[in-house]
Structure 1
């Protein structure tokens, strides 16, 4: 049995996010194809996600033991490490990812849990895992030098050892004249197809 961590980073109310419409469809299809797997939903806007403070550093750089697993901020990195697969749903914000998702990445970038330092440099500890990134963008940014969200996420996931990453991108959703419903339907179809073998 696999454990899927479904990470949502969208400030819009339930049912209004175009990004989540696609990612929710992915999860729905995944559950049908893998009824024995566990899916844990983590909505970052419903969590106590904040920027790291000076008082947090002791826990992040201190020993990692059973007690540290109960720390209010370290609990997220242990939850992340415990999963086998990841679905990250976040719209493009200002050419990158929402700030709350970056704050969450700060929470899960913990030496000794998601990666380690060696004499040859940092080494990821989350090997043989995979991820899907679902993103909606107002313009056409695929392959553009302005697109920094997917680049950043792929780099961080690879830093943890997760290199099997697929992106489902909905492009040009805010361009005048674009058939948004058609693009959403295409995104949902692609998501359902990928979910069946994820």
Structure 2
């Protein structure tokens, strides 16, 4: 039995293609792995605050010096980090906004990329602590960006996940979704076909 952690980051609840892909992936995954436990965190329904001085205080100050707000910020970060630590498989649903990821997803990453918890500093540089996990990143894109210098999404997420020790990462892109009928149909069909293979 494995634990899946699914992170939804689309700003839209209705009409979201990334949510559609996530739903299809989970149906197929559950059919193939019926005993797996699935946790879904929706960053649009329950936004994570952006990194601020309160959270930094919760991380860095001794516990007996925390304000009530710092305690609450630390507790929230701990919850998000614990979900990630417990997961064997991470699924990130990440529509492309302005060539990169939604700010909600960046805020989540800022809560879980934590020194001493998900990575550590060593004499030879930082070392990820979340080895042995897999990640699937489901992206939706209005244009076609894979491999181009306008894609700041896949390189950033690969680097961020590798930084915490997750190197087994597969990207499934649905591209060309705003380029007209044929491009939309082809981009979505290719993504769904790949989802079926990996699930």
- The TM-score normalised by the length of structure 1 is 0.90
8 Å Cα contact 1:78-1:113 kept in structure 2: no
Deviates more, 1:167-176 or 1:67-76: 67-76
Change (3 A) 1:48 1:174: closer
8 Å Cα contact 2:176-2:183 kept in structure 1: no
- Which structure is higher in RCO with an 8 Å CA cutoff and minimum separation 6? 1
8 Å Cα contact 2:7-2:91 kept in structure 1: yes
Query: What's the secondary structure of 1:90's corresponding residue?
Result: strand
Change (3 A) 1:179 1:122: closer
Gaps of 5+ in 1: none
Aligned partner of 1:72 in structure 2 is: 76
Aligned partner of 1:57 in structure 2 is: 56
8 Å Cα contact 2:99-2:150 kept in structure 1: yes
- The TM-score normalised by the length of structure 2 is 0.89
Query: What's the secondary structure of 1:155's corresponding residue?
Result: helix
Offset, 1:176: 3.3
Q: 2:131 aligns with which of 114, 127, 134?
A: 127
Task: Quote the RMSD (CA, aligned, Å).
Answer: 2.0
Aligned partner of 1:191 in structure 2 is: 195
**2:110, 2:169 → 1: CA distance?**
20
Pair 1:47-2:46 in alignment: yes
8 Å Cα contact 1:138-1:174 kept in structure 2: yes
